[in-house]
Structures are given as structure tokens and as C-alpha cells.
């Protein structure tokens, strides 16, 4: 991701409470690719971009399966039954 996308990702991660520090891969090159890291320190940080994306996806995944269709009733159903038209008449 570039710097502009990184700013958006950082904002979303903070809003959703997902941990991570969004920073450039190379601290000397701010126009290069950016990633999500566990710490801000370039010497000791670990890339956690995949974990952050998984946590983001989990926030929007439905927590339960959708309700199945209601069971069909076994008793009588109200309505009209119309006999077929006869072409003779």
C-alpha cells in the first residue's frame, strides 16, 4: 500500500480497535510500500499485515449463519383453487 492508503488503513484499524502500527517498509523511503507492524521501532518490529487484514475481515464476517427458510406447514393452506378455463365456452 502507498502512504495515502496507509493513512486510511491506520484510521480504520484505530476505529475498530485492531492493534498495529502502519509504517513504511523502509523508514528512509516514505514513498515506498507501507505495511502494518507490531511496533514502531524499525529494528525490532515484526510485519503483522496479514494478521491485521484477518482481524479486519473477522470484524465484518457474519457472526451466525442466516436463518433457514421457515418450515412448511403440514396442515391446510388457505387460498382459492380456480378450475382451468374451457376453450369451448
Distance of CA 35 to the CA centre of its chain: 19
Nearest to 6 by CA among 52, 60, 43: 52
pLDDT at 86 (0 to 100): 81
Mean pLDDT of all residues in 26-47: 93
Average pLDDT over residues 62-80: 70
pLDDT in tens, 1-32: 888 999 999 999 999 999 999 999 999 999 99
pLDDT at 59: 86
Closest CA to 60 of 8, 6, 1, 12: 12
How far apart (Å, rounded) are the C-alpha atoms in residues 78 and 75? 10
Q: Label residue 66 by pLDDT band (50, 70, 90).
A: low
Amino acid at each position: 500500500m502507498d502512504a495515502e492508503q496507509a493513512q486510511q488503513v491506520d484510521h480504520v484499524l484505530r476505529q475498530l480497535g485492531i492493534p498495529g502500527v502502519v509504517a513504511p517498509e523502509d523508514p528512509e523511503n516514505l514513498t515506498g510500500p507501507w505495511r502494518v507492524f507490531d511496533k514502531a521501532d524499525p529494528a525490532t518490529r515484526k510485519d503483522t499485515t496479514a494478521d491485521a487484514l484477518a482481524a479486519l475481515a473477522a470484524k465484518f464476517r457474519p457472526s451466525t449463519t442466516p436463518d433457514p427458510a421457515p418450515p412448511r406447514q403440514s396442515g391446510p393452506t388457505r387460498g382459492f383453487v380456480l378450475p382451468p378455463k374451457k376453450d369451448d365456452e
